[in-house]
Amino acid sequence: MPARSELSVVLTTLPHTRGARALSKALVKEGFAACANLLPVASVFRWKGSLEEGNEVLVVFKVPQSGVGALQREIARRHPYEVPEIVEIPAKSVNPSYLAWAKSVVRPRRR
């Protein structure tokens, strides 16, 4: 039975699959996130007074809530956009064994 969660989903978008994959692999390998899913998306947004649209890659990172700040800082540091989307969504509930796994693979960071 899912328990109250200590897990968050962190979202970001990148312009290309290659960069999204490289960022995802690096952040998972370095222990900033437990895993990442890459999804192609069509985006519509306002930028510098104009309505823009284009294809992007949505990266969905899963991370224990204790690691969210470090993950967000690292995404911002490596992101190619001037104003990157970095959004945290706390999970309401999660499979306890998945949460335990996520906690076991994400390395604690100090500020």
Q: How many domains does the chain have?
A: 1
Q: Is residue 101 part of a domain?
A: yes
Burial label for 71, CB within 10 Å (0-12, 13-18, 19+), is buried
CA atoms within 13 A of residue 71's CA, in its CB half-sphere: 34
**pLDDT confidence of residue 108:** 80
Q: Is residue 15 part of a domain?
A: yes
What's the pTM?
0.93
- Check which CATH number belongs to the domain holding 50 and give it: 3.30.70.120
**pLDDT confidence of residue 52:** 96
Write out residues in the chain with pLDDT < 70, as ranges: 1-4, 110-111
Residue 68's domain comprises: 3-105
Q: Is residue 47 part of a domain?
A: yes
**pLDDT confidence of residue 5:** 75
**pLDDT confidence of residue 48:** 95
Q: Is residue 111 part of a domain?
A: no
Q: Is residue 110 part of a domain?
A: no
**pLDDT confidence of residue 82:** 96
Q: Is residue 22 part of a domain?
A: yes
Q: Is residue 91 part of a domain?
A: yes
**pLDDT confidence of residue 4:** 60
Q: Is residue 87 part of a domain?
A: yes
**pLDDT confidence of residue 111:** 61
